[in-house]
């Protein structure tokens, strides 16, 4: 399957207290560790979505949030999907426990995972046919990804207990320090 991949790095990291993209992980900034995972999958196009002031320097395509954008992950994913117009693998920078093997075997084939708290919206394949729903939600400032995904009725896999650790986010220093369960 041909697909593009994007690393989402544009969050404000308020709970972490500093930019999650630049947290040291394995001796490198977390964004580099996560980007390398996506590179190993061999996407046709590889992007980073971030704020220009983050000064992330990479040789991949950059998609910058508009100045003063307040449209969250929905805005970033929509901009990237508009740019690539092909299935788009989305990975959030703050999912350090996601593995290349899991991405390759379970995520890239397509769709979304759904767990006890809803869809795993920040590690999934977004399809171009989702764009009209996403664009309408953005225009109406309805930014909840859960509602948008639900409206698009994508292919869904139920998240198993074994899978949950891969999708864990690191939003605080304590969450980052704790090993996945």
Phi/psi-derived region of residue 101, left when phi > 0, alpha when psi is between -120 and 50, beta in every other case: alpha
Rounded to two decimals, the pTM is 0.92
What pLDDT was estimated at residue 177?
A: 75
In 10 A of CB 111, how many CB atoms?
17
SS3 49: strand
Predicted local confidence at residue 41, as pLDDT: 97
What is the pLDDT, as a whole number, of residue 153? 92
List, for residues 120-143, the tens digit of each pLDDT value: 999 999 999 999 999 999 999 999
Q: 100 pLDDT exceeds 90?
A: yes
The whole-angstrom separation of Cα 106 and Cα 48 is 22
Spatial CA neighbour of 30 closest among 180, 178, 179, 169: 169
Which three-class secondary structure state does DSSP give residue 45?
A: strand
């Amino acid at each position: 399957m041909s697909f593009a991949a994007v690393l989402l790095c544009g969050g404000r990291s308020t709970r972490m207290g500093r930019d999650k993209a630049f947290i040291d992980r394995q001796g490198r900034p977390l964004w580099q560790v996560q980007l390398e995972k996506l590179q190993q999958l061999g996407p046709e196009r590889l992007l980073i979505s971030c704020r220009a002031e983050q000064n992330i320097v990479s040789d991949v395509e950059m998609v910058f949030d508009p100045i003063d954008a307040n449209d969250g992950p929905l805005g970033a994913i929509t901009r990237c999907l508009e740019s690539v117009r092909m299935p788009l693998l989305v990975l959030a920078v703050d999912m350090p426990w996601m593995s290349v093997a899991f991405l390759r075997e379970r995520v890239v084939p397509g769709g979304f995972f759904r767990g006890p708290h809803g869809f795993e919206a920040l590690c999934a394949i977004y399809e171009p046919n989702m764009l009209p729903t996403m664009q309408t939600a953005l225009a109406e400032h309805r930014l909840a990804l859960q509602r948008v995904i639900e409206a698009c009725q994508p292919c869904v896999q139920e998240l198993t207990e074994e899978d949950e650790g891969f999708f864990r986010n690191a939003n605080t220093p304590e969450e980052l320090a704790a090993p996945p369960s």
